Chains A and B, each alone.
Chain A
Amino acid sequence: MKENVISATVFTLLLFLNTCLLNGQLPPGKPEIFKCRSPNKETFTCWWRPGTDGGLPTNYSLTYHREGETLLHECPDYITGGPNSCHFGKQYTSMWRTYIMMVNATNQMGSSFSDELYVDVTYIVQPDPPLELTVEVKQPEDRKPYLWMKWSPPTLIDLKTGWFTLLYEIRLKPEKAAEWETHFAGQQTEFKILSLHPGQKYLVQVRCKPDHGYWSAWSPATFIQIPSDFIMNDTTVWISVAVLSAVICLIIVWAVALKGYSMVTCIFPPVPGPKIKGFDAHLLEKGKSEELLSALGCQDFPSTSDYEDLLVEYLEVDDSEDQHLMSVHSKEHPSQGMKPTYLDPDTDSGRGSCDSPSLLSEKCEEPQANPSTFYDPEVIEKPENPETTHTWDPQCISIEGKIPYFHAGGSKCSTWPLIQHNPRSSYHNITDVCELAVGPAVAPATLLDEAGKDALKSSQTIKSREEGKAAQQREVDSFHSKTDQDTPWLLPQEKTPFGSAKPLDYVEIHKVNNDGALSLLPKQRENSSQPEKPRAPENSKEYAKVSGVMDNNILVLVPDPHAKNVACFEESAKEAPPSLEQNQAEKDLANFTATPSKCRIQLGGLDYLDPACFTHSFH
């Protein structure tokens, strides 16, 4: 029996299933609630998606219960939300409470339930788009034109009580553009747009969102045509500002380029380097020493030729045989050696040093080259010419070794620079002298010191000292005998700058007093080369003061009322050598003007002025 019942049941079921399968009817598939939204926090709607269709009409029901309650409720409104929706009205909507709902699909074949959905209205808020978007172009007279847009909030939202808070956003673009221009508008319901392209058609849209929730959809687009006369004043202003700025920048760059260096030096003044006033390195390189020294201010220096005279004073031995020396030396310059006519006392220069018996008496004893041989400065440039056979070369050379100024072969020593003939020639040496020292005043003094000392020493080395004085005396005599070889202090005929009204005249130094005053004799132009007797000392005027230098080579002397008596030189002559040495040793240039006596060197009865003191007087 039982087996019959069981088999019958199975048979019936299979038959039923067969029938169903033949008909294609199935219980409905499992529905799914996929979305719930509340537009205003007062109502909300849920939508479901039905499952597979069973082929039979299916009923759906949504059931729910709320947090904290156990009672099961069914959806109050299936219509308002559309098909497959459930709308919850105000009385069914609660905030801050979880809804647990599910949908039940039922058909003849069966039913199926969806999964439970936990919904809190608080987090499903999404409003509708704003309404009544209006856009217009406003062009007030005094101000810039702009685009003015207005809208209103969606309906059913309570903003007045503060239950709902809305935030807006607008966007616009030209009709053909691809990108939107988006602006956040906050809680306001109007907006102004200032930057627009004239003559274009714009699209404008607006949307909104709650303070905590989802953005609404964009409102339908509103079209607006911007008139072509929409003036963009901003652009014009900015263009003019840009052009002006560019022009100013160009001007500044141009000014900086032109005066950049001066501006930089104004801000950052260059650090001055050591500089000798008037010193031109370029001239130094070129070797134009005379120009260099003239720039340095050696102009006030006593004439170089005169200076040489002074220096040579101590070295030369004035002797008629000096001419031989010059002739020997004039190998390099034959022309000069063949000019005995230069022995003209007017042109006789450089002899005075040889006339100084104390210094170079030995030198002067030996046959000398023509002291008045024309002194070629270029020849003098060769100090390395010691092999020139000069009788008194050794001394000269030795001196020259110390003083390169006195160059080759004693020609310098024996040569009295011809001031009048070649004033410039001796500048060379002076410039050399200046080169060797810092200042023109110091160098000659130094050189002279050395020259004097060396000369003295050399003279002593060669000759015994006991003969020194005698030799000096002889020198003095010889000096006197050769007035033509006196060292003339040549004064140019031109007017001196020192205001002397008298015409200048050439004089020759008769002697130098103890005080250093020069005893000058008027120069005898004619027949003056061979006057053998000395001038009457009483006719000589004593010039002890050099008031200035003219033409760089001419000393302007003024008489010294305090000059010693000429006759006093006799006894002082004997002590000339020590005094020479002594005066030279105590060279104090600063005291020259005050105490000219220091410069006075008595050599063999003749007073010589220390040229170093002279140099100082001009500074």
Chain B
Amino acid sequence: MNIKGSPWKGSLLLLLVSNLLLCQNVAPLPVCPGGAARCQVTLRDLFDRAVVLSHYIHNLSSEMFSEFDKRYTHGRGFITRAINSCHTSSLPTPEDKEQAQQINQKDFLSLIVSILRSWNEPLYHLVAEVRGMQEAPEAILSKAVEIEEQTKRLLEGMELIVSQVHPETKENEIYPVWTGLPSLQMADEESRLSAYYNLLHCLRRDSHKIDNYLKLLKCRIIHNNNC
């Protein structure tokens, strides 16, 4: 490391750093830049992506519920208090295959979007509350964070699909509002646990609904009911 080598080394380092910085600015070819309505991504790819996301979200929700129940509420009959506790039950969602086949495509898509939108806020508060817990369960918290993230992405994808399948659909921001936050913050542990149980129970159910609906729609729209 003589003095003569230092300026050369310095210039090399500078070159390397500048290259790295420039490389940062080189954006990869986007599949669908910025979620624009004029996106060139095919509907098939959009649906495939959406199905993957919905499948993933339900797996996470199911695991989160199982872990919570095993740890806090197993065998204590909390299920009895979870009846009719979901805030999305007011939505006219189909409950069997025949009903699902009778609903039209557009309404079906709107329905899915509504459910996804209605879960934005509960997920946000769920993460905040679990994070603020003393001895926050890391497994549950991490899954909650991931579910919140992926749900946002799924919503974006759904909006893209809607813009492609039904471009004339005007934005309908009506969705069921969740009001369970006070319950999550109750001082009584039993009540608080019940609130969490209900929330996770409903999340598991609705994520399964969305996954099933999207698979139905994919086969209907892309494969023409010939999956």
Binds A, one of B20-28, B38-46, B214-222: B214-222
Contact present for B93 and A96 (CB under 8 Å): yes
Q: Which of B144-197 contact A (CB under 8 A)?
A: none
The answer to whether A68 touches B96, judged by C-beta atoms less than 8 angstroms apart, is no
Interface set, chain A 112-145, CB cutoff 8 A to B:
118, 120, 122
Chain B, 92-128, contact with A by CB distance < 8 Å: what is the 0/1 string?
0101111011000000000000000000000000000
Given contacts A42-B97, A160-B227, A161-B97, contact A212 B83 (CB under 8 A): no
On whether A161 and B205 interact (CB within 8 A), knowing A67-B84, A97-B95, A212-B62, the answer reads: no
Asked whether any CB of chain B lies closer than 8 Å to the CB of A90, the reply is yes
B62, B97, B209, B220: the one contacting A158 at CB < 8 Å is B97
- Measured between beta carbons, the chain A residues less than 8 angstroms from B83 are 67-68, 98, 100
Tell me, yes or no, whether B73 is within 8 Å of chain A by CB.
no
Tally of contacts, chain A with chain B, CB under 8 A: 68
CB pair B95–A96 under 8 Å, yes or no, is: yes
User: Which residue of B55, B93, B97 contacts A211 across the interface (Cβ within 8 Å)?
Assistant: B55
Asked if A41 CB lies within 8 Å of chain B CBs, one says yes
Chain A residue with Cβ nearest B216: A162
Select one of B58, B89, B97, B227 contacting A212, CB under 8 A.
Answer: B58
B203-227 interface code vs A (CB 8 A; 1 in, 0 out): 0010011011001111110010111
- A67-91 contacts to B (CB < 8 Å): 67-68, 90
Partner of A90, one of B55, B96, B208, B226: B96
Residues of B within 8 A of A252 (CB): none
Cβ contacts under 8 Å, B59 to chain A: 212
Total contacting residues, chain B, CB less than 8 A:
32
A94 is an interface residue with CB less than 8 A from chain B: yes
Closest to A118 in B: B79
Whether, in the assembled complex, A163 has its beta carbon less than 8 Å from a beta carbon of chain B, the answer is yes
Chain B residue numbers with a CB within 8 Å of A100 are: 83
Is A162's CB under 8 angstroms from B208's CB? no
Closest B residue to A211 by CB, please name it: B55
- Do A94 and B95 touch across chains, with their CB atoms under 8 A apart? yes
Is B80's beta carbon under 8 Å from chain A? yes
Question: Is A17's beta carbon under 8 Å from chain B?
Answer: no
Known contacts A96-B209, A212-B208; A163 and B84 CB within 8 A of each other: no
Q: Enumerate chain B residues within 8 angstroms of A160, measured Cβ to Cβ.
A: 219, 225-227
Taking the complex as formed, is A165 at the interface, i.e. its CB lies under 8 A from any CB of chain B?
yes
A308 to B227, CA, bound (A): 115
Contact A159 B95 (CB under 8 A): no
Closest to A158 in B: B97
Cα of A119 to Cα of B194 in the assembled complex, Å:
19
The answer to whether A162 touches B93, judged by C-beta atoms less than 8 angstroms apart, is no
Q: Assess whether A219 is interfacial by the CB under 8 Å rule.
A: no
Task: Please name the residue on chain B nearest to A162 by beta carbon.
Answer: B219
Name the one of B79, B84, B227 contacting A161, with C-beta atoms under 8 angstroms. Answer: B227
Most buried by B among A96, A98, A160: A96
- Given A95-B96, A212-B58, A161 contacting B208 (CB threshold 8 A): no
Is A93 in the interface zone, CB < 8 Å from B? yes
Q: Which residues of B contact A42 (CB under 8 A)?
A: 96-97
Q: Chain B contacts of A212 at CB under 8 A?
A: 58-59, 62, 208, 211
Give the residue name and chain of the B residue nearest to A40 (CB).
B97
In Å, the complex CA distance between A333 and B181 comes to: 126
Contacts of A165 in B (CB 8 A): 215
Alpha-carbon separation in the docked complex, A390 to B89 (Å):
137
Chain A residue nearest to B83 (CB atoms) is: A67
CB closest chain-B residue, reference A69:
B84
A211 to B210, CA, bound (A): 13
A211 & B205 in contact (Cβ 8 Å cutoff):
no
- The smallest C-beta distance from B116 to any residue of chain A, in angstroms, reads 16
- Residues of chain A at interface, number, CB under 8 A: 24
Max chain A Cβ within 10 angstroms of own Cβ: one of B89, B97, B101, B219: B97
| Chain A residues, Cβ within 8 Å of B219 | 160-162
Residues of A within 8 A of B216 (CB): 161-163
Cα A95 to Cα B209 in complex, Å, equals: 9
Please name all residues of chain B whose beta carbon is closer than 8 Å to the beta carbon of A96 when the two chains form the complex: 93, 95, 205, 208-209
A204 CB, min distance to chain B CBs, angstroms: 26
Please pick, from A90, A122, A163, the residue contacting B205 in the complex, using a CB distance under 8 A: A122
**Is B220 within 8 A of A68, CB to CB?**
no
**CA–CA, A301 and B109, complex, Å:** 110
CA distance A158 to B84 in the complex (A): 29
> Roughly how many angstroms separate A212 CA and B59 CA in the complex, as a whole number?
8
Q: Which of A95, A158, A163, A211 is in CB contact (< 8 Å) with B95?
A: A95
* Smallest CB separation, B161 vs chain A (Å): 15
Q: What 1/0 flags go to B50-75 for Cβ under 8 Å of A?
A: 00000100110010000000000000
Q: Which residue of A lies closest to B85 (CB)?
A: A67
A93 and B96 contacting across the interface, CB-CB below 8 Å: yes
Q: Contact between B80 and A161 (Cβ–Cβ < 8 Å)?
A: no
A75 to chain B, nearest CB (A): 19
CA distance A161 to B219 in the complex (A): 6
Taking CB atoms, residues of chain A closer than 8 Å to B95 are 94-97
Distance A163 CA – B226 CA, assembled complex (angstroms): 11
How many Å from the CB of A66 to the closest CB on chain B? Answer: 10
Q: Which residues of A contact B62 (CB under 8 A)?
A: 212
Question: Are A68 and B97 in contact, CB atoms less than 8 angstroms apart?
Answer: no
Which of A41, A67, A160, A161 is most buried by chain B, counting CB atoms within 10 A of its CB? A161
A426 to B194, CA, bound (A): 118
Q: A67 CA to B79 CA in the complex, in Å?
A: 11
Return the CB mask of A160-182 against B: 1 if under 8 Å, else 0.
11110100000000000000000
From the candidates A68, A90, A97, A161, name the one contacting B101 in the complex (CB within 8 A): A161
Select which of A67, A97, A98, A163 is within 8 A of B97 by beta carbon: A163
Bound-state Cα–Cα, A96 to B96, Å = 9
**With A and B bound together, what is the CA distance between A120 and B101 in angstroms?**
21
Complex alpha-carbon distance, A90 and B59, angstroms: 26
Give the contacting residue for A122; candidates B82, B208, B225; CB below 8 A: B208
Q: Which residues of the partner chain B approach A90 to less than 8 Å between Cβ atoms? A: 96, 98
Residue from B82, B209, B226, B227 whose CB has the most chain A CB atoms within 10 Å: B227
Kindly list chain B residues whose C-beta atoms are within 8 Å of the C-beta of A68.
Answer: 83-84, 89
Complex Cα distance, B211 from A161, in Å, reads: 14
Residues of B within 8 A of A161 (CB): 97, 101, 216, 219-220, 225, 227
Chain A residues closer than 8 Å to B227, beta-carbon distance: 159-162
What is the CB-to-nearest-CB distance from A164 to chain B, in angstroms, rounded to a whole number? 9
Name which residue of chain A comes closest to B80, CB basis.
A118
Q: Which chain A residue has the least Cβ–Cβ distance from B101? A: A161
Tell me how far the C-beta of A40 lies from the nearest C-beta in chain B, rounded to whole angstroms.
9
The interface residues of chain A lying within 8 Å CB-to-CB of B101 are: 161
What 8 A-B pairs are tightest by C-beta distance, nearest first? A162-B219, A94-B95, A162-B215, A163-B97, A162-B216, A118-B79, A162-B227, A67-B83
New A-B contacts (11) at CB < 8 Å, excluding given A95-B212, A161-B220, A211-B55: A68-B83, A94-B96, A96-B93, A96-B205, A118-B79, A118-B80, A120-B205, A161-B97, A161-B219, A163-B215, A212-B208
Contacts A/B (CB < 8 Å), 7 sampled:
A41-B97, A95-B95, A161-B101, A161-B220, A162-B217, A162-B223, A211-B211
